């Protein structure tokens, strides 16, 4: 009876031709070693991709120049070459060094969403840079309103009547010798989770309330468009705000020069639709450092 032959390892993409004088298990070891080499190579490639992802592709100065060029191009496309569009560099979650670099590049207006973070960042910066401005663009609780008016040149996110009353009373308490507190009324045009006045009627009531306080300087509207790739939906949201501004101007003339709309993902569309101020963060400072 013939002797049974030992089973041969199945040939795969990793299998080399076994030498006749090799040990019985050398082919298997070769396969394992080759697979391990592939794993190490994949890990190196993955690490390299991570490093490349987190290395900024351009400096803050270069990013600001690029954004300003995009603003100018959007103005030209919309036939608004003679009308100013201000850039608000949203520096939330980025430290003072990033703000200083942007300032050195000529940027003067910055946006923040948290009182505590902004206070630690701008209290010192503004002492040595009197032309630096900070706007509050995030939600404001009434118990933090006093801190807000002592720090921010403008509060863009005034989204309810109770907040108008709180800010108005605080400006009365600090006296007529202090500069008026600039505010924008926030109009809701985005997802249900976002805040803001829902329609023109609510904005009219809010405007009447704000104008009754001599310490408040009503200066325009702000909105956040839906976060979507649907350009038609974004344009529709911006057009609703422009229409509301026009109606408010007819009823309360002289208080609506600022139309703050558009962020990193849609500021060019916002300019084409009539924005006079855009809020750009990621396109300047990169991803946020939470």
pLDDT digits (tens, 9 = 90+) for 191-212: 887 899 999 999 999 999 999 9
> Is 3.20.20.10 the CATH classification of the domain at 58-285?
yes
206 or 27, which is more confident:
206
Convert the pLDDT of each residue in 147-205 to its tens digit. Answer: 999 999 999 999 999 999 999 999 998 877 788 999 999 999 988 878 999 999 999 99
Convert the pLDDT of each residue in 111-122 to its tens digit. Answer: 999 999 999 999
Kindly report the pTM of this predicted structure. 0.79
Half-sphere exposure of 53 (CA within 13 A, CB side): 7
Residue among 130, 128, 174 nearest 153 (CA): 130
Instruction: Give yes or no for residue 5 having a pLDDT over 60.
Output: no
Q: pLDDT band at residue 82, thresholds of 50, 70 and 90?
A: confident
- How far, in Å, CA of 261 to CA of 122, rounded? 23
Instruction: Give yes or no for residue 19 having a pLDDT over 60.
Output: no
Instruction: Give yes or no for residue 53 having a pLDDT over 50.
Output: no
φ and ψ at residue 169, rounded to 5 degrees:
-65, -40
pLDDT of res. 52: 43
């Amino acid at each position: 009876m013939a002797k049974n032959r030992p089973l041969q390892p199945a040939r795969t993409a990793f299998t080399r031709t076994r030498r006749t004088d090799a040990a019985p298990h050398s082919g298997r070891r070769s396969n394992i070693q080759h697979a391990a080499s592939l794993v190490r190579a994949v890990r190196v490639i993955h690490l390299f991709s991570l490093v490349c992802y987190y290395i900024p592709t351009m400096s803050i100065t270069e990013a600001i120049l690029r954004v300003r060029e995009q603003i100018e191009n959007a103005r030209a496309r919309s036939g608004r070459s003679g009308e100013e569009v201000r850039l608000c560099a949203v520096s939330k979650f980025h430290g003072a060094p990033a703000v200083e670099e942007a300032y050195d590049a000529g940027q003067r207006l910055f946006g923040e969403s948290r009182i505590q973070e902004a206070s630690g960042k701008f209290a010192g910066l503004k002492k040595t840079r009197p032309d630096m401005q900070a706007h509050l663009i995030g939600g404001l609780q009434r118990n933090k309103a006093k801190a807000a008016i002592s720090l921010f040149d403008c509060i863009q996110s005034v989204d309810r009547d109770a907040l108008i009353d709180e800010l108005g009373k605080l400006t009365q308490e600090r006296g007529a010798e202090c500069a008026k507190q600039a505010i924008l009324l926030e109009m809701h045009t985005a997802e249900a989770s976002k805040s803001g006045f829902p329609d023109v009627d609510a904005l009219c009531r809010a405007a009447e309330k704000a104008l009754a306080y001599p310490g408040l300087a009503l200066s325009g509207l702000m909105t956040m468009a839906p976060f979507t790739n649907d350009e038609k939906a974004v344009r529709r949201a911006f057009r609703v705000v422009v229409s509301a501004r026009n109606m408010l101007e007819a009823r309360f003339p002289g208080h609506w020069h600022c139309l703050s709309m558009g962020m990193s993902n849609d500021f060019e569309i916002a300019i084409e639709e009539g924005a006079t101020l855009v809020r750009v963060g990621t396109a300047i400072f990169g991803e946020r450092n939470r």
